[in-house]
Amino acid sequence: MVTVEVDPVRVESRLSRGDMSCPSCTGGVLAGWGFARPRPVAGMAAPVRPRRARCRGCAVTHVLLPVTLLLRRAYLAELIWAALAAKARGHGHRPIAQRLGIPRSTVRGWLRVAAARADAVRSWFLAVAVTTGVDVAVPRTTESVWGDVLAAVHAAHGAITARFGRSAVLGAVTAAQVAVAASAGRLLSPGWPPVPASDPATPVDPAADKR
């Protein structure tokens, strides 16, 4: 996944100029390569159909996700994140739901899904951190599963912002947005994270975005 500006004309112009570099290799540039499957986005009237691009060098394809889409997803991510963080601090789903103004069943569902994949999510973000960062210190295991997951996401966040600058590249400045960006919005979606987590530049499951 590559985050791009909202204006599709500018995106096309950058693609045709060879002005968009490939995140999967060194020196490769992206060219237009069809469109990804339309995806509904909360708060938007019509589904968004993101552009796809293919590297002229390494031939890896990427979904070009407009930054607003990321941010719109990140709004939900911020809530999910707040719930997970509260859980890590020892709160139960009832007080969390009450504080966030979200139905208890929704919060319970998030926590259940997150708990079931905690190890995989932790490994994914540690891989992002180690791949992105320089001399990344892998967080030590804490007392709780939830603490471990959060520590891994924070490590990824730290590595990404240290390398690319705050708000650069992913358009993500908070740990929650990093969680969303690095998981392409699939933090709690079925089939995520993919295994193995060897290419954090393209975390989108290729099967989900067939042209």
Q: What is the DSSP string of 63-131?
A: EEEEHHHHHHHHHHHHHHHHHHHHHHTT--HHHHHHHHT--HHHHHHHHHHHHHTHHHHHHHHHHHHHH
If one asks whether residue 30 binds Zn ion (CB under 5 A), the answer comes out as no
If one asks whether residue 2 binds Zn ion (CB under 5 A), the answer comes out as no
If one asks whether residue 24 binds Zn ion (CB under 5 A), the answer comes out as yes
The token pair that represents 202 in the structure block: 């393209």
Shortest distance, CB of residue 34 to Zn ion, whole angstroms? 17
The token pair that represents 131 in the structure block: 């791949």
* Nearer Cβ to Zn ion (26/40): 26
- Residues in binding contact with Zn ion, number by CB under 5 A: 7
CB 12 within 8 A of CB 31: no
What is the number of other CB atoms lying within 10 angstroms of the CB of residue 111?
Answer: 21
Scanning 26-34, 46-54, 78-86, 152-160 for contacts with Zn ion by CB under 5 A, the matching segment is 26-34
Q: Mask 32-71, x = binds Zn ion (CB under 5 A)?
A: -----------------------x-xx-------------
Residues that bind Zn ion (CB under 5 A): 22, 24-25, 28, 55, 57-58
